[in-house]
Structure 1
Amino acid sequence: MWEIKIWNTIFFLFQAACSVYDIRIRAVPRWLLLLGGALTAAARIAGIGEGTWVYIWGAFVGIGFLIVSRCTKEALGYADSWMIFLLGMYLGIWKLVSALSFSFLAAGIWSLGKVVLKKKGRKEVIPFLPFLTAGYLGGIVW
């Protein structure tokens, strides 16, 4: 049990670092995303979690988001989609769905608040990785 908590903490710190980059410069360095891929692979090799298919289906969801990023010319950024892919491989499909639900709900509430308070327009973009980090926390608790 403690191994899972250690892995969850490491992955959270990785996501927090990505979120800081996303907030400050609206981009995440490739080396940091590759580090996340290595962390995810190490967790899978270590055998943390459930059966293999749960993680494969989670990865497929991430691949779907990468395709959406490509087709929409990065309306949803590649770093966001790559993080969803990593979350799918790390959490598995069911916890990923939970994390994405929390993420989209939080981003929607934040955006609605910004529009209502007239601080942002409807076409403004927001960094999504901080919401994915919050959704990750919700997903591992759920």
Structure 2
Amino acid sequence: MMAFASTCLLWLIATAVYDFRERRVPNWLVLAGAILALGALAFGDPLFDNTWRSSLLGAAVGFGCLLVFYAMGLMGAGDVKFTSALGLWFGLSALVPIWIIASLMAGAHSFLWLALKRWPFFPRLALMLVGPSRVPEPGASHGRLRIIPYAAYLALAAAAWMVWGRQS
């Protein structure tokens, strides 16, 4: 179990770093996580003793719930796909607290950014919260800035859950 847990943790860190830096999650990174999670399930070594049913249900529910936010233009596709891969690793029962923790962190990020935008006491911190400045890609939903790296917060919440969630 330790090898797959370490692999999952490295994948979570890589995703968090990538999303914080680029404000996107590439498909190859999501696919790598999904394949590794399926490998852990196939070898009978899933995290938190998930069954195939629990993991597949977590992937489907994670994808389906966040797909609504993507369709409304509130979230990027990488966040949706990453949540599905998280569901494979952690199963449905752990996915709910991970969502809650990540959403609280993303809300704090947004609140801090809005406060700094309104009262620019720390302009560099406000720029860090916005992420890299670039021209919106063609076909991007309404040319919106992707300010909140939600997949990064999901990854951090999942890593915290790996450490403290096992003790519950």
Q: Which category describes the TM-score, using the shorter chain as reference length?
A: 0.7 to 0.9
Select which of 111, 114, 125 maps to 2:147: 125
Distance 1:124 1:58 in 2: 25
Counterpart for residue 13 of structure 1: 10
Distance 1:108 1:28 in 2: 19
Q: CA deviation at 1:28?
A: 2.6
Count of residues in correspondence between the two structures: 137
Tell whether the 8 Å contact from 1:65 to 1:84 is kept in structure 2 after alignment: no
Tell whether the 8 Å contact from 1:102 to 1:138 is kept in structure 2 after alignment: no
Distance 1:17 1:50 in 2: 23
Tell whether the 8 Å contact from 1:55 to 1:90 is kept in structure 2 after alignment: yes
Q: What residue identity is the alignment partner of 2:9?
A: F
Tell whether the 8 Å contact from 1:102 to 1:139 is kept in structure 2 after alignment: no
Counterpart for residue 25 of structure 2: 28
Distance 2:18 2:146 in 1: 18
Q: Which runs of 5+ in 2 are unaligned?
A: 118-125, 131-144
Asked if 1:88 is matched to 2:80, the reply is no
Backbone CA RMSD of aligned residues: 2.2
Select which of 32, 35, 39 maps to 2:36: 39
TM-score normalised to structure 2 length: 0.71
Distance 1:139 1:88 in 2: 13
**CA spacing shift, 1:97–1:16, aligned 2, 3 Å:** same
Q: Which runs of 5+ in 1 are unaligned?
A: none
- Highest CA radius of gyration, 1 or 2? 2
TM-score normalised to structure 1 length: 0.82
Tell whether the 8 Å contact from 2:25 to 2:79 is kept in structure 1 after alignment: no
Q: CA deviation at 1:134?
A: 1.3
